[in-house]
Amino acid sequence: MGHISGIGVLDKAVLVLRAVAEEPCGLGELCARTGLPRATAHRLAVGLEAHRLLMRDTSGVWRPGPALTELAATAADSLAEAAASILPRLRELTGESVQLYRREGAARVCIAAAEAPFGLRDTVPVGARLPMNAGSGAKVLLAWADPTTQAALLPDASFGERALAEVRKRGWAQSAGERETGVASVSVPVRDDSGAVIAAISVSGPTDRIGRRPAVRWAADLIAAADALTKRL
């Protein structure tokens, strides 16, 4: 087990959460996945259950608990509220559609959007679930995802680990015709106050209008918008 935070019990608890999130399981399988002693895995799982982060069904199988969904919804609401003033300004600056995405499992969900005011546009309604296998938003969200998530989603993606390494290095991703023919986009990560990537903010539009390399025009503006979102959280 990797020591990420240096706080042993916290790292073990997160290990248990990730194992159950990957696939619901009983105590034996939980021990096998985490490498934790049976007593330790049981104690942590019961503690997480008490906080409603895990729950057990009648057969004793642990599943992600309702508190995880509640926490995620709170984060999404906070982001959407902050985006209400940031995204329209970005749309005015670029003249194109802008979106804010958050990853949910194997999909990215649009939690806020501001559509281009005229002409051809890339319309992504709030609540739309898009795949994580193509597009600049998917690249950004997957570039900073945990290794287990990357290993699960990369085999079906139109890009590989080398592309994700480039995204992490330069701080943005772009795509042209990946998610939809004739559509290009550029995205950057949005971080919380701890530095963790919690969303991706994007500008998208017809390739004929914004070109196949929209990052040249808008990466810096997107980074500024992402910073403004972080400050409002």
Same domain, 56 and 127: no
Q: Is residue 14 packed enough to be buried (19+ CB in 10 Å), middle (13-18) or exposed (0-12)?
A: middle
Instruction: Name the residue with higher pLDDT: 115 or 218.
Output: 218
- Picking from 64, 84, 99, the residue at the C-terminal end of a domain is 64
User: How is the chain classified by DSSP, letter by letter?
Assistant: ---SSS-HHHHHHHHHHHHHHHS-B-HHHHHHHH---HHHHHHHHHHHHHTTSEEE-TTS-EEE-HHHHHHHHHHHHHHHHHHHHHHHHHHHHHSSEEEEEEEETTEEEEEEEE--SSSS-----TT-EEESSSSHHHHHHHHTS-HHHHHHHGGGSSS-HHHHHHHHHHS-EEEESSSSTTEEEEEEEEE-TTS-EEEEEEEEEEHHHH-S-THHHHHHHHHHHHHHHHHH-
Tell me if 60 is assigned to some domain: yes
Chain-centroid distance of CA 204 in Å reads: 18
Same domain, 41 and 86: no
Alpha-carbon distance 20 to 26, whole Å? 9
Instruction: Name the residue with higher pLDDT: 45 or 74.
Output: 45
Residues whose CB falls within 8 Å of the CB of residue 66, separated by 6 or more in sequence, listed in order: 52, 55
Same domain, 110 and 13: no
Same domain, 17 and 108: no
pLDDT for 48 equals: 94
b/e string for 97-135 if b means 16 or more Cβ within 10 A?
bbbbbbbeeebbbbbbbbbbeeeebbebeeeeebebbbb
Alpha-carbon distance 140 to 163, whole Å? 10
Same domain, 20 and 119: no
Q: Is the pLDDT confidence value at 62 over 50?
A: yes
Q: Is the pLDDT confidence value at 205 over 70?
A: yes
Same domain, 222 and 202: yes
Tell me if 47 is assigned to some domain: yes
Q: Containing domain of residue 13, as a range? A: 8-64
The pLDDT tens digits for 6-38 are: 788 998 999 999 899 888 999 999 999 999 999
51-65: average pLDDT:
88
Above pLDDT 90, what percent of the chain?
Answer: 61
Q: Is the pLDDT confidence value at 2 over 50?
A: no
Same domain, 133 and 204: yes
Contact in structure between 148 and 124 (CB atoms under 8 Å): no
The CATH number for 92's domain is: 3.30.450.40
Same domain, 123 and 12: no
221-225: average pLDDT:
96
Same domain, 148 and 100: yes
Alpha-carbon distance 63 to 16, whole Å? 11
Same domain, 83 and 52: no
Flag whether the pTM goes above 0.85: no
Above pLDDT 70, what percent of the chain?
Answer: 92
pLDDT for 1 equals: 47
Q: What are phi and psi of 225, to 5 degrees?
A: -65, -40
Instruction: Name the residue with higher pLDDT: 81 or 103.
Output: 103
Q: Is the pLDDT confidence value at 71 over 80?
A: no
pLDDT band at 4 (very low <50, low <70, confident <90, very high): low
- Picking from 64, 82, 107, the residue at the C-terminal end of a domain is 64
Same domain, 48 and 150: no
Q: Is the pLDDT confidence value at 119 over 80?
A: no
pLDDT band at 69 (very low <50, low <70, confident <90, very high): low
Number of domains in the chain: 2
Instruction: Name the residue with higher pLDDT: 176 or 66.
Output: 176
Q: Is the pLDDT confidence value at 56 over 50?
A: yes
User: Mean pLDDT score of the chain, rounded to an integer?
Assistant: 89
The pLDDT tens digits for 154-179 are: 999 999 999 999 999 999 999 999 98
Same domain, 35 and 80: no
The CATH number for 24's domain is: 1.10.10.10
